A and B are shown apart, each in its own frame.
Chain A
Amino acid sequence: MKPMIKVEDLSKQYRIGTRGDASYRTLRDALAGAVADPFRRGRRKKREAGQDLWALDGVSFEVTPGEVLGVIGHNGAGKSTLLKILTRITEPTRGRVELYGRVGSLLEVGTGFHPELSGRENVYLNGAILGMKKVEIERKFDEIVAFAEIEKFLETPVKRYSSGMYTRLAFSVAAHLDPEILLVDEVLAVGDAAFQKKCLAKMGSASREGRTVLFVSHNFEAVKSLCTRCLLLDGGHIIEDGPPEVAIEKAFAKLRAKSGSSFKLHTLRDAPGVPRPASVEVRAADKPPGELVTFEDEVVATLELDAPLMEGHTFAFQVMTTAGTTIFNSFYRDSRENPPLRPGETRRVSARIPARLLPGGVYEAVFAYMLPNAELFWLCRENWFEIRDVKSYRNEGLTVRRTGLISLILPWDAE
């Protein structure tokens, strides 16, 4: 079958320093630099050449109409770069993409919404930004409004909308673009359950109509249930292209191999002297590191800091699913029985997750460094760990895989 998307040898190079927040320079710097050292320009280039980063490196694949292609991979694997190139937000350094249809994205619903403008005005503005013609917006206008259920508030500025109404309207405009190629990013991580369901339903119906869907996600469950095929990216390369189960299994293996060193730090507030995470380890309490963790094991998550704890600071710990749902939070100060934290000394904390709490699956352990009033300095995320679902001795007769967010063993009564 002829492809809908054809990607050949796609590569994107970033010069380190052109991403991230210190990316722009000031004219003053540039001028001062030129005055202080007129030869710096040439040398600078030379030095920077060694710091190039290939966010995508020789990626080739084809997608046929009706396919729902999942794209997974840990942070920095190249997923978002791929999406940015497909949506033409950034240009590739090398390679070629052919798109045989209009591209629409559910990446950024509500892009270009202006809070001062009314719902009606924003439908037109947003539609035009997403690439719809005016006549097209006019034709679909009633449908868009009905889908978003905001008929009564059409003339109200969207700044007065509830966040639910806002999201519904934004999504409705994006969904009515009716593109042949639909790109979906982590939309499932935001929005409420009903909204997520709508997104998923839209993706399903799009593929049944013979459209092509590219679904980039951390949510392995969603990828497994929606996608017909899945790409696993790592370091800018495709390392697996096949059935979602296979790609996901391989992704888990990658995550396990990287565990401890591959966390992602989200700095929310900076202050001098605040220690940073050095490593995070999640393992079974009674087994050597690296061994499989099962449902029957007590799990220990350990955070190691690169400098001692500061006065007045404390920790929190959280476990999340791959779909981004928080299973629980735990605060160091929850219990007086925890050993007292010693500012200037404490460099390592561990949280113990009781056995038989989490069913088999992959989880994210999150450590937070914060003030007691929950003002966060940083979050240390993406410490993935897997719990294997083994047959519990307690239910030997039944070969039941537990579902649900937690898997407590409850005492029962029978009379």
Chain B
Amino acid sequence: MSLSTRESTSELEKVVPAQAAPVMPPPPPQASVSLPDKPVVTIEPRASWLALNLRELWAHRELLYFLTWRDVKVRYKQAVFGAAWAILQPLFLMVIFTLFYGRLAAIDTGAVPYPLFALAGLVLWTFFSTAVTGSGNSVVNNAHLITKVYFPRMLVPAAAIGACAVDFLLGFLLLVGMAVYYGVPPTPRLLMLPPLFLMTTLFAFGTGMWLSALNVKYRDVRFVLSFAIQLWLFVSSVVVPSSVVPEKWRWLLLFNPMSGYVEGFRAALFGQPFDWQALAAAAAITLSVLIYSAFEFRRMEKSFADVI
């Protein structure tokens, strides 16, 4: 007699209670796995100032690659538009700035024509601003990951920068094309481009990482950030050279690493002398920001999953 239309035997067993053995799984077999002597993972509350745990970051480098790759892939999925945007954004700004500053205000940019001057600054600046914005919002945007899976949280703001770097490369190609068009000769100073780009990346990462943690706690950081970035552009020697700033105020620019990097970037491109003092100040600030942010991020990440 089958009272049950379901095929499972357990249903039948329940119907005949006389022999009804409880439906139990087979007894656990002897452990076939050999256990390590030391725990693979130990979970403990940690001190708030805890170390950066760089080893763990290194162990998760593949995930950084995959997260970056995801952002790049998604960004360029609609390939034509994605690539076009990376070029159009600095290009439009260049046109506008050329009209207002190059023509109307007739800013003196030395031997370099204003459009090229502006584009060089804008390409690096656009990278920085999109990277800071992207990584500043990354933790909140990836809340679904952070509340569900464990991995070093620092990878999230780091990965957000990767996609911006691809945009930068496209913008840089445009810049190279323009430089060739204007007949700028290559010089050995070009070798400074990679270190300058690296320092800009680190500065963007440091700033973005700190903001991303702050953003979890205070959600209007997002709005303050987009406003602050717009203002920041005008004090970063992108639109006008730092030489326009009166001598007695110029030292203030030392506190803005982006001004140093933008000027350095242009100097490398156009074969002009570097302002080593500005670059040294920028590097010192970058490293301080990076270290401060990393510890601050580690301190705040403990509560991400609880607050986000």
A residues neighboring B (CB under 8 Å): 1-2, 4, 6, 14, 18-19, 23-28, 30, 64-68, 84-103, 107-108, 111-112, 114, 116-117, 121, 124-125, 128-131, 133-134, 180, 204, 207-211, 224-228, 245, 399-401, 403-404
Contacts and interface: CB of A to CB of B under 8 A. Distances in A.
B74 interface: yes
Nearest to B70: A125
Nearest to B13: A403
B35 A89 contact: no
Given A91-B45, A208-B26, A210-B32, 17 more contacts: A18-B303, A27-B219, A30-B218, A65-B33, A66-B31, A85-B43, A96-B43, A96-B44, A97-B44, A112-B145, A114-B74, A117-B73, A129-B66, A131-B151, A209-B32, A210-B28, A210-B30
A4 B25 contact: no
Nearest to B44: A96
Contact of B306 (A19, A67, A131): A19
Given A114-B70, A224-B23, A92 B45 contact: yes
Interface string B196-225: 000000000000000000101111110010
Contacts of B65: 128
Nearest to B36: A100
A180 B33 contact: yes
B11 interface: yes
Contacts of A95: 44-45
The 7 A-B residue pairs whose C-beta atoms are closest, nearest first, are A66-B28, A88-B150, A98-B39, A27-B218, A65-B31, A128-B66, A97-B43
B77 to A, nearest CB: 5
A18 B32 CA distance: 43
A404 B4 CA distance: 8
Interface residues of B, number: 63
Contact of B31 (A27, A210, A224, A401): A210
A116 B151 contact: no
Interface string B5-42: 00000110011011010111111111111011001111
A117 B74 contact: yes
A26 B219 contact: yes
A129 B3 contact: no
Contacts of B308: 23-24
- Interface of A, secondary structure class, is loop
Given A108-B149, A129-B151, A245-B22, A92 B43 contact: yes
A226 B28 CA distance: 11
B46 interface: yes
Nearest to A92: B45
Contacts of B226: none
B43 A27 contact: no
Nearest to B69: A125
Interface string B138-156: 0000001111111100000
A97 to B, nearest CB: 4
B11 A403 contact: yes
A4 B36 CA distance: 9
Given A101-B35, A207-B28, A18 B149 contact: no
B29 A210 contact: yes
A167 B293 CA distance: 38
B206 to A, nearest CB: 20
Contacts of B62: 128, 133-134
A117 B71 CA distance: 10
B31 A64 contact: yes
A92 B302 CA distance: 10
A107 B145 CA distance: 12
